[in-house]
Amino acid sequence: MKGLGDRIHHLRKSRKLTLVELAKSTGIDQASLSRMENGKMTGTLDSHMLIADALGIRLSDLYDEVVDKLHAAKEKAARQKLETFSHSSGAVAELLISGSLQKKMMPVLLKIKPKGHTETEEYSTVSERFIYVLKGSIELVFGKEKRSLNTAECLYFHASTPHHLRNTAKSETWVLSLLTPASL
């Protein structure tokens, strides 16, 4: 269990206990405690209960920060698995969820460089799109129409009409896009 050794080490040091003292109070040999603190071994549930008791805490308190670290590591790994599509037109599309084609909508973060634009897109007649400008400003070219949107402005439209977004700001623009049904 990643992080458990750091947690045991921190708790032991905060109580000004040596490994020898913790070994005596738990009945776990010093070498095993050292390997646990250094992440070389995880120990057993019984050893964790003995350690928690010797440190004067509940077993759940021993795992508190460890569980938080596990969740953070899982979230980071999930974010790294998300797909990113870069276009030569100066736009990057980052899928905000994995398995998006099995979902009913597809959330995407669009990052558009100054003077950049997305590719022209046209979806099925039942497709709808919602865009929200997180920062910067864009021009939505929608068929023969043009619509300007600035930070904190949004637009909902039928995505079956050919359309693209153009950055009109002097810095990178970020746009949250939701497309339903999900499609690429």
Domain limits for position 15: 4-81
Q: Are residues 72 and 116 in the same domain?
A: no
Q: Percent of the chain, pLDDT > 90?
A: 57
> Locate tokens 């939701």: which residue?
178
Q: How many domains does the chain have?
A: 2
pTM exceeding the 0.75 threshold for the entire prediction: no
pLDDT value at position 2? Answer: 63
Give tens-digit pLDDT for 55-113.
999 888 888 777 777 777 766 665 555 577 777 788 988 888 777 667 788 899 999 99
181 preceded by a cis bond (ω within 30 of 0): yes
Both 37 and 115 in one domain: the answer is no
User: 166 and 97, same structural domain?
Assistant: yes
Tell me which of 81, 111, 143 is where a domain ends: 81
- Contact status, residue 72 vs residue 155, Cβ threshold 8 Å: no
Mean predicted lDDT score pLDDT of the chain = 87
pLDDT-based confidence at residue 168 (cuts at 50, 70, 90): very high
Q: Residue 9: is it exposed, middle or buried by C-beta count within 10 angstroms (0-12/13-18/19+)?
A: middle
Give CA separation, 113 vs 79, 89, 118, 176, in Å: 22, 9, 10, 15
Q: Token pair for residue 19?
A: 């490994």
Please write down the long-range contacts of 40-49, taking CB distance under 8 Å and 24 or more positions apart.
42/1, 42/4, 43/4, 48/4
Nearest to 175 by CA among 87, 107, 89, 115: 107
* pLDDT at position 42: 86
Strands 84-87, 154-158: parallel, antiparallel or unpaired by DSSP? unpaired
Same domain as 95, residue 174: yes
- Whether 100 and 164 map to the same domain: the answer is yes
* Same structural domain, 90 and 159: yes
